[in-house]
Amino acid sequence: MVDKDYIKTIVLNDRLKESFFHFTGEENLMNIQEVGLQPRIGFNSNGLEKTSKIFFSKGFDGLLQNLDVWIKYKFHRAFNEVDGYGFYKGKTIEERKRLIEEWGKEFLSKDYLKDDEKKEKVFEKIYEGIKTQKYLLLDLEEGIDFKYDDIDEIKEYNLEEKNKGNSTRYIYAKEMYGNYSNVDSNIVDKWNMHTLPNCGVAKEKISKVITKDGKDDALSILQYIYINYRNKEDKYDILDDFMTYSFKRDKNKTE
């Protein structure tokens, strides 16, 4: 039997500020320790990504930017799909269509950022889910494992569609990606980098990230980085609200 804790660990510290981080589920650790990270096209990228790869973020600020985008993505999935988190359960087809149409307007106008009821619902789902995730530190080398000027195939696809007159995906991506992304360029952003096509990461180049007090869940990692390393000049859409929520939830659980 493979021990999931066999993966070597590394404690968060200042020297990791510009390192490369991969986000994964706890259920993947056993396979990762056996064969490393294998490149693949993710479920949500099927039909958009042309090649298999491993995604990662660069640096603590890239990691926080990635979370900000990921939360907005979760919001969009929750209210733009009939199944989402089950928020439209019991609604008729006509009601769902109307609610999804209303959500599109709310998302693009940023009005959802002021909707405390929606935030409470989605934050709760994310809070519980992210505690089962882990952060892995990847020992990567430019030119061998990745390129800083590599092509983001989804951004490239969105730009191609925009040039054809279909700008829907581009418009939504611009809102979701935040002001730290350049959606008018097809070059990767540091919060959403990837390995070279069909390039995996060997298990020897992977470490599980833990806090100084030994916590290894993604939420604890994010909270530690947010408190100690958040760049005050960075502007986030929803990250600050979620982190405030997470600290409040933690406090309520201990009282």
Model pLDDT for residues 177-196, shown as the tens digit of each residue: 999 999 999 999 999 999 99
Q: What is the pLDDT of residue 58?
A: 98
Structure tokens at 165: 């007159």
Query: Which region among 4-8, 15-19, 71-75, 112-116 has the lowest average model confidence (pLDDT)?
Result: 4-8
**How many domains, in total, are found in the chain?**
1
Q: In the predicted model, what is the mean pLDDT of residues 163-182?
A: 93
Find the domain containing 183 and state its range. 4-254
CA dihedral (106, 107, 111, 112) positive or negative: positive
The predicted-structure confidence for 124-140, as pLDDT tens digits, reads as follows 999 999 999 999 999 99
Q: How many CA atoms lie within 13 A of 2 on its CB side?
A: 11
Q: What is the pLDDT of residue 65?
A: 96
- Higher confidence at residue 254 or residue 201? 201
DSSP-derived 3-state class of residue 57: strand
pLDDT-based confidence at residue 60 (cuts at 50, 70, 90): very high
By DSSP bridging, strand 133-138 and strand 206-210 are: antiparallel
Q: What is the pLDDT of residue 2?
A: 43
Model confidence, pTM: 0.91
Mean residue pLDDT across the chain: 90
Q: In the predicted model, what is the mean pLDDT of residues 60-75?
A: 95
pLDDT-based confidence at residue 110 (cuts at 50, 70, 90): very high
